[in-house]
Amino acid sequence: MIRPLHMPPDAYFDDPADKIDLADRAKSESNLTHALASSALTCMGEWITRGRGGATNRAFRADIVLLSVTPHFLPTKRPCAAWVARQHGVSRQRASKLWREFAEYIAPYVQFRGQRFRNQAGAIPRRRGQVRQHRPQPGPVAGV
């Protein structure tokens, strides 16, 4: 569309970027940070209240969340899934599985200690040091 030669001051074609105040930009970034933190906390709260088991299950899941996000709040020097399992009387495998489940669930929202990279959808899981390189197979041996 062709702009008219003489436009009124607050016309549709005015560039709104000319009117942005830098203080407003800082305030909007602060509001965005608070909104993201609020959504992450909401997701954590929803994950804690999932499943059956009542208060004991919620306490177990809350400790798994603390272990993932802020392990220094747990009353032990070396927090791990096995410690949480012992405290709640469940198997280490169940605690470890639940910890991995929480890490996969919360990865799009929060990156926490112990998580090297955000979980990538469709990524091929590889164990460290066991990456195969595709080499051509040797041909038949002469004289056999």
Q: How many structural domains does the chain have?
A: 1
Residue 87 has pLDDT above 90, yes or no: yes
pLDDT tens figures, 89-100: 999 999 999 999
Domain membership flag for residue 144? no
Domain membership flag for residue 67? yes
pLDDT tens figures, 55-81: 888 999 999 999 888 888 888 888 899
Domain membership flag for residue 99? yes
pLDDT tens figures, 16-42: 666 666 667 777 777 777 887 788 888
Query: 86: which DSSP letter?
Result: H
User: Can you give the residue range of the structural domain that contains 96?
Assistant: 58-111
- What angle (nearest 5°) sits at the alpha carbon of residue 12, between those of residues 7 and 18? 90
